[in-house]
Amino acid sequence: MTRKKTFLILGIVVAAIVIAVCVFMFNTGIELPNSENVTRIEMERVHTPGIAEKYSDGVAATEHYYDINSILTALSSAKKARFSWYSAANDVPSAEEYLAIRINAEKEGGTFYLYRDGNGYYVYVPYIGIYGISQRSYTGIDNMYTLMEKK
């Protein structure tokens, strides 16, 4: 009887560790700079209808703290997608349309790509991973780009 209890307890402990590791791997968020260190965010909608074709709707930029904070807050809600690690092996996502978000900060920054695939909304971080984002966050960032003046 004690041997069965030992194996049962050992099995439960192993299962709990496996579940904890999976939750950690798939529930991590994007590493973003602190909004106080961000000096500017540029966004550009890019269309790639063909293999060699690519065109832009223009670049919109903001240096306003409220806009920067809103964009970073929306991006920070993204959680790692299940298929992430092997799918982010390019400079840009393979989507036909995406919104490039370039974050300029004092020490760190980066480029992130917001796109839609089927019924899902994603943030693509080159060579790092793909993160799922809510429709509300996606729409909020997309609307900010639409309302900003383009160059």
pTM reported for the whole predicted model: 0.77
Query: Collapsing DSSP states into helix, strand and coil, what is residue 89?
Result: coil
Domain count across the chain: 1
Residue 107's CB is within 10 A of a number of other CB atoms, namely 7
Q: Give the range of the structural domain holding residue 10, as residue numbers without chain letter.
A: 2-147
* d(C-alpha 116, C-alpha 98), whole Å: 8
Secondary structure class of 4 (helix, strand, coil): helix
Determine the 3-state secondary structure of 6 from DSSP.
Answer: helix
CATH number at residue 9: 2.60.40.4250
Cα-Cα-Cα-Cα torsion 38, 42, 45, 47, nearest 10 degrees, comes to -100
The secondary structure of residue 150, as a DSSP letter, is B
Q: In tens digits, what is the pLDDT along the chain, a chain of 151 residues? A: 577 777 566 666 566 565 545 444 555 778 888 888 999 999 999 998 776 788 888 999 999 999 999 999 999 999 988 665 556 767 888 888 999 999 999 888 899 999 998 889 999 998 888 899 999 999 999 999 998 887 6
